[in-house]
Amino acid sequence: PSAMAFRTGASTNTSFVLTDCGSSCTYDYITEVKHASGSEGDIKSISGGFTISALSAVGFNAPTNEVKSMAYIHPNLYVVDNTGDGSVNYLYKLDVTDSTKVGQTSSGGGWVKVTNLSVSVGDIGGMTVKGGNLVLAEESATTIHIVNEAGVSQGAFAMLDGTGPTMYAPGGLDAI
Protein backbone atom coordinates (compact mmCIF):
# COMPACT_ATOMS: atom_id res chain seq x y z
CA PRO A 1 0.00 0.00 0.00
CA SER A 2 1.14 3.54 -0.69
CA ALA A 3 -1.35 5.29 1.65
CA MET A 4 -4.07 4.63 4.21
CA ALA A 5 -7.02 6.56 5.63
CA PHE A 6 -8.94 5.48 8.72
CA ARG A 7 -12.62 5.77 9.69
CA THR A 8 -13.95 4.78 13.12
CA GLY A 9 -17.47 3.54 13.66
CA ALA A 10 -19.64 2.37 16.55
CA SER A 11 -18.93 -1.33 15.98
CA THR A 12 -16.73 -1.39 12.88
CA ASN A 13 -13.55 0.46 12.01
CA THR A 14 -12.51 0.88 8.38
CA SER A 15 -9.16 1.42 6.75
CA PHE A 16 -9.00 2.57 3.15
CA VAL A 17 -5.83 1.27 1.49
CA LEU A 18 -4.37 2.92 -1.63
CA THR A 19 -2.33 0.78 -4.02
CA ASP A 20 -0.18 2.53 -6.62
CA CYS A 21 -0.62 0.63 -9.87
CA GLY A 22 2.21 2.45 -11.64
CA SER A 23 2.25 4.61 -14.73
CA SER A 24 0.79 1.90 -16.98
CA CYS A 25 -2.66 2.16 -15.33
CA THR A 26 -5.30 4.85 -15.68
CA TYR A 27 -6.28 4.71 -11.99
CA ASP A 28 -4.72 3.72 -8.67
CA TYR A 29 -6.81 1.28 -6.61
CA ILE A 30 -8.45 1.62 -3.20
CA THR A 31 -9.62 -1.31 -1.12
CA GLU A 32 -11.43 -1.26 2.20
CA VAL A 33 -10.46 -3.26 5.28
CA LYS A 34 -13.18 -3.51 7.93
CA HIS A 35 -12.73 -4.91 11.40
CA ALA A 36 -14.61 -5.00 14.68
CA SER A 37 -12.93 -3.65 17.78
CA GLY A 38 -10.19 -6.02 18.90
CA SER A 39 -10.27 -8.24 15.80
CA GLU A 40 -7.93 -8.54 12.85
CA GLY A 41 -8.92 -6.91 9.57
CA ASP A 42 -9.90 -8.72 6.43
CA ILE A 43 -10.47 -7.16 3.03
CA LYS A 44 -14.24 -7.01 2.56
CA SER A 45 -16.47 -6.05 -0.33
CA ILE A 46 -17.37 -2.38 -0.33
CA SER A 47 -20.91 -1.53 -1.28
CA GLY A 48 -20.79 -0.51 -4.93
CA GLY A 49 -17.23 -1.76 -5.34
CA PHE A 50 -16.05 -4.02 -8.15
CA THR A 51 -13.42 -6.69 -8.61
CA ILE A 52 -9.95 -5.31 -9.22
CA SER A 53 -8.25 -8.14 -11.08
CA ALA A 54 -4.73 -6.81 -10.46
CA LEU A 55 -5.33 -7.19 -6.71
CA SER A 56 -7.77 -10.12 -6.68
CA ALA A 57 -9.87 -7.95 -4.39
CA VAL A 58 -12.98 -5.81 -4.42
CA GLY A 59 -12.49 -2.06 -4.23
CA PHE A 60 -12.76 1.08 -6.30
CA ASN A 61 -10.63 3.42 -8.40
CA ALA A 62 -8.88 6.61 -7.36
CA PRO A 63 -9.56 9.55 -9.72
CA THR A 64 -6.14 9.13 -11.45
CA ASN A 65 -2.92 7.16 -11.14
CA GLU A 66 -1.15 10.10 -9.43
CA VAL A 67 -2.72 9.88 -5.97
CA LYS A 68 -0.26 9.40 -3.09
CA SER A 69 -2.32 10.23 -0.02
CA MET A 70 -5.82 10.03 1.43
CA ALA A 71 -7.78 11.32 4.42
CA TYR A 72 -11.33 10.71 5.66
CA ILE A 73 -13.84 13.25 6.98
CA HIS A 74 -17.31 11.69 7.23
CA PRO A 75 -18.77 10.78 4.76
CA ASN A 76 -16.02 11.62 2.27
CA LEU A 77 -12.67 10.17 1.37
CA TYR A 78 -10.38 12.99 0.18
CA VAL A 79 -7.42 12.63 -2.20
CA VAL A 80 -5.08 15.01 -3.99
CA ASP A 81 -4.46 14.34 -7.66
CA ASN A 82 -0.83 15.29 -8.34
CA THR A 83 -1.30 15.37 -12.13
CA GLY A 84 -1.76 19.11 -12.34
CA ASP A 85 -0.38 20.97 -15.33
CA GLY A 86 2.84 21.72 -13.43
CA SER A 87 1.34 24.56 -11.43
CA VAL A 88 -1.96 23.25 -9.99
CA ASN A 89 -3.01 20.03 -8.24
CA TYR A 90 -6.60 19.02 -7.55
CA LEU A 91 -8.51 18.08 -4.40
CA TYR A 92 -11.17 15.38 -4.89
CA LYS A 93 -13.71 13.76 -2.60
CA LEU A 94 -15.84 10.62 -2.81
CA ASP A 95 -18.84 9.89 -0.59
CA VAL A 96 -17.90 6.32 0.34
CA THR A 97 -21.32 5.76 1.94
CA ASP A 98 -22.98 6.16 -1.49
CA SER A 99 -22.66 2.82 -3.32
CA THR A 100 -23.73 4.40 -6.63
CA LYS A 101 -20.89 6.94 -6.55
CA VAL A 102 -18.39 4.25 -5.49
CA GLY A 103 -19.51 2.05 -8.40
CA GLN A 104 -19.12 4.94 -10.84
CA THR A 105 -15.36 5.02 -10.17
CA SER A 106 -15.00 1.97 -12.43
CA SER A 107 -15.55 4.25 -15.42
CA GLY A 108 -13.83 7.40 -14.11
CA GLY A 109 -16.86 8.89 -12.32
CA GLY A 110 -18.02 9.14 -8.74
CA TRP A 111 -15.27 11.46 -7.55
CA VAL A 112 -16.16 15.15 -7.17
CA LYS A 113 -13.47 17.72 -7.89
CA VAL A 114 -13.60 20.02 -4.86
CA THR A 115 -11.15 22.63 -6.12
CA ASN A 116 -7.89 23.43 -7.82
CA LEU A 117 -5.38 23.84 -5.02
CA SER A 118 -3.37 27.04 -4.86
CA VAL A 119 -0.33 27.17 -7.12
CA SER A 120 1.74 27.43 -3.92
CA VAL A 121 0.80 23.82 -3.05
CA GLY A 122 3.27 21.34 -4.54
CA ASP A 123 2.77 17.59 -5.03
CA ILE A 124 1.26 16.09 -1.89
CA GLY A 125 2.92 13.00 -0.43
CA GLY A 126 1.10 12.78 2.92
CA MET A 127 -2.32 13.75 4.21
CA THR A 128 -4.20 13.60 7.51
CA VAL A 129 -7.05 15.32 9.37
CA LYS A 130 -6.88 17.65 12.36
CA GLY A 131 -9.76 19.66 13.75
CA GLY A 132 -11.96 19.02 10.70
CA ASN A 133 -9.29 20.36 8.33
CA LEU A 134 -7.11 18.48 5.86
CA VAL A 135 -3.38 18.65 6.58
CA LEU A 136 -1.34 18.24 3.38
CA ALA A 137 2.40 17.56 3.42
CA GLU A 138 4.38 18.35 0.30
CA GLU A 139 6.28 15.42 -1.13
CA SER A 140 9.46 17.28 -2.12
CA ALA A 141 9.52 20.22 0.29
CA THR A 142 9.20 20.93 3.99
CA THR A 143 5.88 22.75 3.67
CA ILE A 144 2.64 21.70 5.38
CA HIS A 145 -0.64 23.18 4.09
CA ILE A 146 -3.90 23.22 6.02
CA VAL A 147 -7.13 23.43 3.99
CA ASN A 148 -10.77 23.06 4.92
CA GLU A 149 -13.16 20.56 3.29
CA ALA A 150 -13.77 23.05 0.45
CA GLY A 151 -10.02 23.26 -0.24
CA VAL A 152 -9.72 26.83 1.10
CA SER A 153 -6.37 27.52 2.73
CA GLN A 154 -6.41 27.80 6.50
CA GLY A 155 -2.65 28.39 6.67
CA ALA A 156 0.70 26.83 5.94
CA PHE A 157 4.00 26.42 7.74
CA ALA A 158 7.47 25.10 7.10
CA MET A 159 8.59 22.20 9.26
CA LEU A 160 11.88 24.01 9.83
CA ASP A 161 10.47 27.45 10.52
CA GLY A 162 11.92 27.67 14.04
CA THR A 163 8.63 28.68 15.70
CA GLY A 164 8.17 25.41 17.53
CA PRO A 165 9.54 21.91 17.69
CA THR A 166 11.43 21.32 14.47
CA MET A 167 11.54 18.22 12.37
CA TYR A 168 14.14 17.35 9.78
CA ALA A 169 12.64 16.23 6.48
CA PRO A 170 15.03 17.36 3.73
CA GLY A 171 13.20 15.57 0.91
CA GLY A 172 9.60 16.17 1.96
CA LEU A 173 7.14 13.66 3.34
CA ASP A 174 5.60 10.50 1.97
CA ALA A 175 3.31 10.18 5.00
CA ILE A 176 2.13 12.11 8.01
Average pLDDT value for residue range 92-111: 92
CA–CA dist 70, 17 (Å, integer): 9
CA–CA dist 68, 153 (Å, integer): 20
The answer to whether 125 touches 136, Cβ cutoff 8 Å, is no
Q: What is the pLDDT of residue 175?
A: 56
Q: pLDDT tens digits, residue range 4-51?
A: 887 776 567 778 888 888 788 889 989 887 766 555 555 455 555 777
The answer to whether 18 touches 70, Cβ cutoff 8 Å, is yes
C-alpha angle 40-41-44 in degrees, rounded to nearest 5? 145
Lowest mean pLDDT, pick from 27-36, 93-102, 104-113, 138-147: 27-36
pLDDT band at 168 (very low <50, low <70, confident <90, very high): very low
The torsion angles phi and psi of 101, rounded to 5 degrees, stand at -65, -40
CA–CA dist 111, 93 (Å, integer): 6
Average pLDDT value for residue range 121-131: 90
Which is more confident, 160 or 104?
104
Average pLDDT value for residue range 106-112: 92
Q: What is the pLDDT of residue 155?
A: 92
Q: What is the pLDDT of residue 72?
A: 94
The answer to whether 64 touches 28, Cβ cutoff 8 Å, is yes
The answer to whether 39 touches 25, Cβ cutoff 8 Å, is no
